[in-house]
Structure 1
């Protein structure tokens, strides 16, 4: 793989006479500024005026240069753009120069006895901008930490070592130090240290480099590039690289490993060698955001990585789908979400095409569905299949093992039939998905053609009898060619063209064609006559007479019973019971005779379940007897609930159907419109079913946590096993207590509102009855009808005049 392209950036012209010491020792790069340090102590500053494309040579223009002294090599350069500093390691000392003029910064005195150094990230959000400088000293056997500002630097920490430091890498507060025999992690803030592993300094070049965030790359024992996190653990396998490694850098997702004569590029994701670049006299590597620079004795080369999307597509072109998928998933965070999803679909679909032509059809189907393959791409490969979408442009798969299905159809029919069967399987599967709903016309039309070619006539009739998107102009000629005239009538009927359907069937009777469907034709036409007659027609058949005629025709019988129950709103128990039993009969017949049509079976079960829930008129015992020995456990549970056998129904759903969701739905639907006590009792029975006999702990926990409001908290606490932890039912307890508190507060509020209304009524009553009552001897008691004599009378606030004893008697009542 050509992952990186190389271009020459800088070339040192050799000196003609004398001993040539002007070889390149190190380099630094920041934006358009290039710094080259020589073995002769010469520091050169170059700049480039414009960006160049990948693979093109980048021309440099020298700005200035500086001789650091009489001699001695410049071992290390590092730019500090935030401070405009350039740090130079020369003569075992660090000198700070201005980045642009290369003049020494007088305020920053040299730091002596330095073996190597590293810089930390700039602290730009503090009051004063500064950079941390980590200086390793062989003489002092220590690593010192300096705080570098614009006009000063100061030592703020020191870490003593037992041996000489030979390599150093830094991430935030963690230092990875290679001493003369081992690697050590040291956090200079917490002063914690962790020894990693030993190395052999005499036989290998010791390396400690920064990898991705929080990770270090080390040259481990046995020529292994080890990845170690700042916590001391390794989260990815090591890279097995060659002997004689001079330098290595990480340019995610690759590791570039330098030898004297070659550069090896490995993937961090699968640890495999991906590319080798030949060169002469390699010395070191420098990784920047955009590129990797290779420093040789007299040349500097720039390696530019090709775009990740291009790499993935190139792997796909070579059918290296596993590598492409590994790379894509590894760099997901670097790609836009839309690009990632599109590339992943391309990879999965390419893998699907490879499996498809290998005739590994089950794997191909799963991959096509997972990769959201446009079903029209597959349909367009088959001869005789018509695409309805006029704007579709096919892009045939470019896999090496691709076959010409048109040629296969002409020369190897048995093999072609395998591919045709796969198309049938795939289209039936994709038809139910969201993607399939977009291309229903293409899918249903093609499916009809495939059923015809394979002779799957039962599946064909089921397709056209139910809702479908077959295109009539395309499908009818094919059905006529195969003499499937009865199916043509069904197709017309499913598209609402009843007149055309009847005309087709009448023509069949007149011409005596398609003798394979003699009875079904008659009973379908009969249903149309019985259900579509004018209600004012004097010759309308009585329902019982029609039912007796259609007894031997199940499909027609269902249609007519649905007409009676749904449209005519029949309230006769025998009609509802017969419809339920007929549904059950068709389901049981489908289960025995057509086990390959799961869709039809599921549709019929949904119709039966919906009817059993909605209707309250049928004879539940009769219907239960019909399906008692079958596996229709959900339907049996609904029937048991109709007769009050709720515990038995729940047992059936839990132990036989083993469908927790169905049991939960049963409880909610059965308790709809009932009082709270009934709901709590129903859910309590379901919980007991989970806990008894064969305990379903996870189901019981989910039931409690997801339906806390449906339970009586005290009853639950009584039946919960003592071995359960509080954490299991914490959510249930919190929601139950919240619900209880809410109910109590609501009852108190309702009581207060009722008391207030009572007081308001009493106040209104008192206001209405207050007033003077005038009495004289001619007035009589309202209760005993005797005249009042003297003052022995009582005026009641209601306005009635009573004797005292009468008032006492009435008031006690």
Structure 2
């Protein structure tokens, strides 16, 4: 694979007669600027050319140049953009320069006796930015830690070493140090030391490089590039290094290993060699966020990694599906969510196409479903199948083992039949999924055509007799061509065109040349249509009881008619509701020959029965329970028990017999809907007791608490929980329950305050209403009610005015 592309960034053209002895020793790349340190102490700054702009491969021009001294190599450069500093290691000392002018910073004096150094991450404290500097000294066998600011640096710590430091890498407070014979990890804050393993400095180049977060890359004995966490453990397999490694860097998700004549790119995810880049003569590598720079004596090359999306799609083109999947999963955290989902779907579907053409249909179906394959892509491959959706442009699979379905249909019918059967199974599998809901017309129309082609006439009748999205204009001609006239009637009926359906069936009965192969079902359907589709003025022709007596031997028709009575005619008669529930049960427990081969239909009937039992409040629950008590319809039994009030028994049935914790949880929520909080808490407490008493339902009890914290009484739960449970198990429950209790307490306080305010408002209105003057004269008669001021109703107020209590109460109420 072409993971990296190489471009020349800098080249020093040799002077005439060999007078130019320029040799690159080290480089630094920061803020689109290139710094070059030479072997003779010359420091150069190159910036992008203003004429060409940046682009992918900018042209550089020299803008500054500085001679560090009379001679001696510049062995290390490091820019500190947050401080505008450039640290230069020359002549065993670090000099701080301005990174743009290359002028020395007078406030920062040289640091002497330094053999190598590393920088930590910038730190902002009290509006002051600083960077940690770690220097190694072979002369003193020690590491020094400095705090570097804009105008000063100060030593804040020292780490003594037993041997000379050879290489150094830093992650947070952890130092990875290569000494003269071993690698060690040392935390400079806690002073903890962990020896990793020894190495042979004479036989191999010792490397200690920063990898991804919290990880180091080390060159280990046996030519292995080992990844070590700051805890000392390795969480990924080592990379097999070649002989003669000069340098290595991590450019996620790859490790680039430098030899004198080439660079090899290994994947960190599967440890496989992905690319080899040839070179003339290289000496070191510099990894940045955007690229990796290769340093030769007089040239600098830039290796740019192609976008991860491009790499993954290239792997898919090469059908290296496993590698593409490994790469995608490894880089998921750095990809946009939409890109990840699209690539994941492409990988899964490509694997599905490979299995599809291998005739590994079971694997292909699972992969297509998992990858959310657009069903129209599959439909468009088959001859005779038409995609209905407007604007759809098929993208045929590009796998190498793809087959021409048209050719298979013409030359290898048995093999083509297998692919048709697969299409049938796949479309049925996704028909009720969220994906299938987007393409129902395409799916149902294609299914009808496949059933016709394969001769699956029972499946065909089942499809068109229920709700479907078949397109009449495309399906009716095919059905007529195959002489499936009964199915045509069913299709008309499913679309609400009852007159067309009846006319089709009547024509079948009257025409002797047409063989009616479905007489019994025909009578059932036509009967129900006559009873349910007649005009309101004809209601006296057939009484409901007469119709029911006619249809008692035809359960399918009976269910349709009872559904019409209850849902259309709004019947609230107990016998109608009970009969419908019992008929549902009979259809499920004792299916007739017509329905035995339709598992999907049976599931649909169970769903309808459960929905009816939940919604109806008029059926005789005890009668229905007696009908299904000995059956395996545990969910239905639980619903009926709930109607009787046997909630705890219903929950135990769902947990112990049905073994469906979600059904039990939904039962509690649905049963308590519209009821008070105490009832809801009682239901959930019973369910928790069932889990705790049953033994093997420990995890279900934990999930129930953590996912439904607001449905429980916290104090009650704390009393009944086993003492062996840890707080960590129910931490989510405790947090949400306490939050809910706090919310309830505050809401009650708010309600109390609102009531108090309303009371004060009413009292104020009462006081305002009682402040009016009452006129009196010598007649001693109340001018409000006309009654004399005598008897027990007479009152004297402190104002000296007289009034009847009756008048007072009347005035107050008004």
For the aligned pair, the TM-score class normalised by the smaller chain equals 0.7 to 0.9
CA displacement at 1:94 relative to structure 2:
3.2
CA offsets, 1:49-93, max 9 Å, x none?
Answer: 135765x6x654444545544543332233344555443333333
Please name the residue that 2:536 is paired with.
535
Conserved? CA contact 1:168–1:177, under 8 Å: yes
Please name the residue that 1:775 is paired with.
none
Larger mean CA deviation between 450-459 and 745-754 belongs to: 745-754
CA displacement at 1:661 relative to structure 2:
3.3
Conserved? CA contact 1:484–1:514, under 8 Å: no
Please name the residue that 1:8 is paired with.
8
Does 1:119 pair with 2:119?
A: yes
Conserved? CA contact 1:86–1:97, under 8 Å: yes
Please name the residue that 1:560 is paired with.
561
Conserved? CA contact 1:176–1:184, under 8 Å: yes
Please name the residue that 1:239 is paired with.
239
Does 1:638 pair with 2:630?
A: no
Larger mean CA deviation between 410-419 and 589-598 belongs to: 589-598
Larger mean CA deviation between 153-162 and 288-297 belongs to: 153-162
Which structure would you say has the larger Rg?
A: 1
Conserved? CA contact 1:255–1:267, under 8 Å: yes
Please name the residue that 1:281 is paired with.
281
Please name the residue that 2:786 is paired with.
none
Conserved? CA contact 1:424–1:447, under 8 Å: yes
Q: How do 1:74-223 residues align onto structure 2 when only pairs under 5 Å count?
A: 74-99=74-99, 102=102, 108-123=108-123, 130-149=130-149, 153-223=153-223
CA displacement at 1:138 relative to structure 2:
1.0
Conserved? CA contact 2:681–2:711, under 8 Å: yes
Larger mean CA deviation between 374-383 and 315-324 belongs to: 315-324
CA displacement at 1:432 relative to structure 2:
1.4
CA displacement at 1:295 relative to structure 2:
1.4
Does 1:312 pair with 2:312?
A: yes
Please name the residue that 2:419 is paired with.
419
Conserved? CA contact 1:4–1:306, under 8 Å: yes
Larger mean CA deviation between 702-711 and 565-574 belongs to: 702-711
CA offsets, 1:156-213, max 9 Å, x none?
Answer: 4332211111112233443322111122233334444333322221211111122223
Please name the residue that 1:460 is paired with.
460
SS in structure 1 of the partner of residue 233 of structure 2: coil
Conserved? CA contact 1:591–1:601, under 8 Å: no
Please name the residue that 2:518 is paired with.
517
Partner Cα distance (1:728, 1:108) in 2: 55
Q: How many residue pairs end up in the alignment? A: 779
Conserved? CA contact 2:44–2:64, under 8 Å: yes
Please name the residue that 1:406 is paired with.
406
Does 1:653 pair with 2:654?
A: yes
Q: How do 1:35-54 residues align onto structure 2 when only pairs under 5 Å count?
A: 35-49=35-49, 50-51=52-53
SS in structure 2 of the partner of residue 467 of structure 1: coil
Conserved? CA contact 2:509–2:516, under 8 Å: no
Please name the residue that 1:663 is paired with.
664
Aligned-residue Cα RMSD (Å) equals 4.0
CA displacement at 1:107 relative to structure 2:
5.4
Q: How do 1:424-463 residues align onto structure 2 when only pairs under 5 Å count?
A: 424-463=424-463
Stretches of structure 2 lacking an aligned partner (at least 5 in a row): 777-789, 796-814
SS in structure 1 of the partner of residue 416 of structure 2: helix
SS in structure 2 of the partner of residue 536 of structure 1: helix
Please name the residue that 1:297 is paired with.
297
SS in structure 2 of the partner of residue 319 of structure 1: coil
Q: How do 1:17-36 residues align onto structure 2 when only pairs under 5 Å count?
A: 17=17, 21-36=21-36
SS in structure 1 of the partner of residue 487 of structure 2: helix
CA offsets, 1:552-575, max 9 Å, x none?
Answer: 333222222222233333444443
Conserved? CA contact 2:486–2:516, under 8 Å: no
Task: Give TM-score scaled by structure 1 length.
Answer: 0.85
Please name the residue that 2:804 is paired with.
none
Q: How do 1:681-760 residues align onto structure 2 when only pairs under 5 Å count?
A: 685-694=686-695, 696-703=697-704, 721=722, 723-724=724-725, 731=733, 734=738
Conserved? CA contact 2:86–2:99, under 8 Å: yes
Conserved? CA contact 2:47–2:61, under 8 Å: yes
Change (3 A) 1:233 1:126: farther
Conserved? CA contact 1:132–1:145, under 8 Å: yes
Change (3 A) 1:18 1:568: closer
Please name the residue that 2:323 is paired with.
323
CA displacement at 1:590 relative to structure 2:
4.6
CA offsets, 1:339-384, max 9 Å, x none?
Answer: 2222222222112211211222222222222222111111000111
Please name the residue that 1:575 is paired with.
576
Larger mean CA deviation between 16-25 and 654-663 belongs to: 16-25
Partner Cα distance (2:703, 2:102) in 1: 71
Partner Cα distance (2:682, 2:227) in 1: 60
Conserved? CA contact 1:130–1:148, under 8 Å: yes
CA offsets, 1:725-774, max 9 Å, x none?
Answer: 566567377489769979998999999999999999x999x99xx999xx
SS in structure 1 of the partner of residue 167 of structure 2: strand
Conserved? CA contact 1:713–1:736, under 8 Å: no
Change (3 A) 1:243 1:442: same
Change (3 A) 1:594 1:47: same
Larger mean CA deviation between 1-10 and 437-446 belongs to: 1-10
Q: How do 1:772-783 residues align onto structure 2 when only pairs under 5 Å count?
A: none
Conserved? CA contact 2:595–2:601, under 8 Å: no
SS in structure 1 of the partner of residue 112 of structure 2: coil
SS in structure 2 of the partner of residue 692 of structure 1: helix
Change (3 A) 1:2 1:613: closer
Partner Cα distance (2:26, 2:317) in 1: 39
Stretches of structure 1 lacking an aligned partner (at least 5 in a row): 773-793, 800-813
Change (3 A) 1:453 1:151: same
Partner Cα distance (1:288, 1:623) in 2: 74
Change (3 A) 1:129 1:744: closer
Change (3 A) 1:91 1:514: same
CA displacement at 1:141 relative to structure 2:
1.2
CA offsets, 1:472-520, max 9 Å, x none?
Answer: 0001111112211111111111111111111111111111424210121
Conserved? CA contact 2:493–2:501, under 8 Å: yes
Partner Cα distance (1:232, 1:498) in 2: 77
Partner Cα distance (1:144, 1:436) in 2: 65
Partner Cα distance (1:372, 1:62) in 2: 54
